[in-house]
Chain A
């Protein structure tokens, strides 16, 4: 498919048809591409169900885990009750103490990065930042993140044997939960071991399902976003001065970066009965995709969607999903990105790009540039004024 924007390979198909039938591994999935249709389907959980373990991600994850991820792979009304169990942790980013912790983390990591002649952002900055920030979110010691960093940018993929990597992750989660059961604290694992759901304790499988999502869900998404933004600051040095002149623009810039990147291209839903979507038939048991990435470039909603307008407002993007399942980690992700931009401004850091390689999602029917797989840069303090 020819296209001018590497982030939006769906443009022609979205305009002409509104859907795309594409294969992921051996599964044919009808991708829903238009903004309104994506929103509509995301709200209609009876027709487009999440209540199928392993089948919300695309491609499906049967081979990567044995446990249903929670709360994402459930439908209302159970979904709401599952989500309520972990919501207090994901609201922590609203507290001033938490904001201060993240500011300290970002400042410290940028300080370390400034000491190096060059660094590869994806592995040496974005991945450790994501993992250490997650330790704060789950309220465990930051040192615990050092082991998580060793998993790489994706919790399941990237080794010689992806199913073995998934199994090792489940083993580790069991160990965390064992330790929490033995000596409960104020952390995420302990909260799960003590939680009640419909007047009973959670089963071990349910606990593992929550932790699995906490580790896998906000991982490459944040890493891709952080990497993309740092590269953008390197190629657009004027941006930091604009943000310094108008610090409120950090808020709109954060949302615009999230829209443009849309780190999760799409998520799946199963149609329990024969369904018609945008004039296309979907047989019972087959999946559709809610293509957030296409929706976020829909020209009927976003003027000049391919342009990055750091003061874009309104910006009703769906990068965090929409409806009951909207991203639990959104507040944390927003805080992290806003803080990153704020500290680049305050510390007067400029980015020199040295060696970059695109991170391209290659599927049978499209290729989409998400961010960078390699991003070697030099960070210099005071460079903006020199």
Chain B
């Protein structure tokens, strides 16, 4: 089971081992500050915005059309942005670190 690390807006680091599900599910289950997941993962609320470091971007993949529509009007969004609910943590992503943008 993969491990994922969340770094919150104020720099707090949380390492989650044996993680399963989407980045949003994992963050909500572990009370990661700045990830709300209000809509439950259907790409509506944008309360699970994370940024993926360059070295992970190819493996994580780029934002979907629905995410791009949302990021178009999010001031803090850039090419590293993903919605956590749209990223499933697979074994290929073991060791991933993401930065939480915050609400």
Contact = CB atoms under 8 A, between A and B. Distances in A.
Physical interaction between A and B: yes
Interface of A: 35-36, 39-40, 42-43, 94, 251-252, 254-255, 301, 312-318, 320, 322-323, 326, 330-331, 334
Contacts of A94: 36
B69 A316 contact: yes
B38 A330 contact: yes
B42 A315 contact: yes
Contact of A314 (B36, B38, B64, B73): B64
B47 to A, nearest CB: 9
A313 B73 contact: no
B42 A313 contact: yes
Contacts of B42: 251-252, 255, 312-316
28 contacts: A36-B69, A36-B72, A39-B69, A42-B73, A94-B36, A251-B39, A251-B40, A251-B42, A252-B42, A255-B40, A255-B42, A301-B69, A312-B42, A313-B41, A314-B42, A314-B64, A314-B66, A314-B86, A315-B39, A315-B43, A316-B43, A316-B44, A316-B66, A316-B70, A317-B44, A322-B73, A323-B73, A330-B45
B73 A334 contact: no
A35 B69 contact: yes
Interface residues of B, number: 17
Contacts of A301: 66, 69
Contacts of A320: 44-45
B73 A255 contact: no
Interface of B is mostly: loop
A315 B69 contact: no
Q: Report, nearest first, the 7 A-B pairs whose CB atoms are least far apart.
A: A314-B43, A251-B40, A314-B66, A315-B42, A43-B73, A255-B42, A316-B43
B39 A255 contact: yes
Interface string B1-16: 0000000000000000
A247 B91 CA distance: 26
Contacts, number: 58
Contacts of B72: 36, 39-40
Nearest to B69: A316
Contacts of B67: 314
A301 B70 CA distance: 11
A40 B71 CA distance: 11
A102 B67 CA distance: 32
Nearest to B74: A43
Contacts of B66: 301, 314, 316
Interface in B31-86: 36, 38-45, 64, 66-67, 69-70, 72-73, 86
Contacts of A313: 41-43
Contacts of B64: 314
A312 to B, nearest CB: 7
Contact of B38 (A35, A42, A322, A331): A331
A314 to B, nearest CB: 3
A36 B67 CA distance: 13
Contacts of A331: 38
A39 B44 CA distance: 12
Contacts of A330: 38, 45
Contacts of B44: 255, 314-318, 320
Given A255-B44, A314-B64, A316-B44, A334 B69 contact: no
A384 B67 CA distance: 38
A301 B69 CA distance: 9
B81 to A, nearest CB: 15
Nearest to B43: A314
Nearest to A334: B38
A144 B64 CA distance: 47
A221 B25 CA distance: 28
Contacts of A334: 38-40
A313 B67 CA distance: 12
A316 B38 CA distance: 12
A172 B91 CA distance: 59
